[in-house]
Amino acid sequence: MSTPMLIDAPTSTESIRYETLGYLDAYDAVLNGDYAFVAYREVDSYGWRVRIRSSQTAGAVFEPDAMRVQARAAGAQGKPYFVWGYTFEPTADDARQIEFRVHVVNGAPSAIEIFVRLRTIDGTPDTPKSVTFAWPTVQE
């Protein structure tokens, strides 16, 4: 028996099509709460983009042209990925970490990773969780 998803991509309409690409949920013991993330491709009359929606945080929008420019810059710097959209960086008081990473191969976007590390009950970092999915290649 599978556990239901805590957040879903929107339902397609006649004018906008949605395709789920990835899903991740994680538990923060300090807050006694679940975080859920769904990534989906959105196709409309203007083109396509990838979006990440979150149950507890802001998400992100990945427009193909912006990702192409950022990936080229990251590739030129020898970076394997760059972070885009909402982030939550760990501090001395809060170990949570949330990043939306765009992986780069040969100066082009190749995959998106949702990386999440929440906290155990004593506030220490829990085991990281992530989901990675391929950057869409078909432009409709």
pTM: 0.92
Whether 72 maps to a domain, the answer reads: yes
Which residue range is the domain that position 120 belongs to? 17-133
The pLDDT, as a whole number, for residue 5 is 87
Instruction: Using the predicted structure, report yes or no on whether residue 95 has a pLDDT greater than 60.
Output: yes
Whether 138 maps to a domain, the answer reads: no
Whether 10 maps to a domain, the answer reads: no
Whether 40 maps to a domain, the answer reads: yes
Q: Which of 17, 36, 18, 16 is nearest to 26 (CA)?
A: 36
Whether 1 maps to a domain, the answer reads: no
Residue with tokens 């420019």: 69
Confidence band, pLDDT 50/70/90 cuts, at residue 35: very high
Q: How far is CA 26 from CA 1, 30, 35, 37, 89, in A?
A: 19, 12, 5, 9, 16
Whether 12 maps to a domain, the answer reads: no
Whether 140 maps to a domain, the answer reads: no
Beta strand residue intervals within 1-140, DSSP E: 17-28, 33-44, 47-54, 60-62, 81-83, 97-105, 108-117, 129-134
The structural domain count of the chain equals: 1
The pLDDT, as a whole number, for residue 115 is 98
Whether 11 maps to a domain, the answer reads: no
Instruction: Using the predicted structure, report yes or no on whether residue 1 has a pLDDT greater than 60.
Output: no
> How large is the C-alpha radius of gyration of the chain?
16
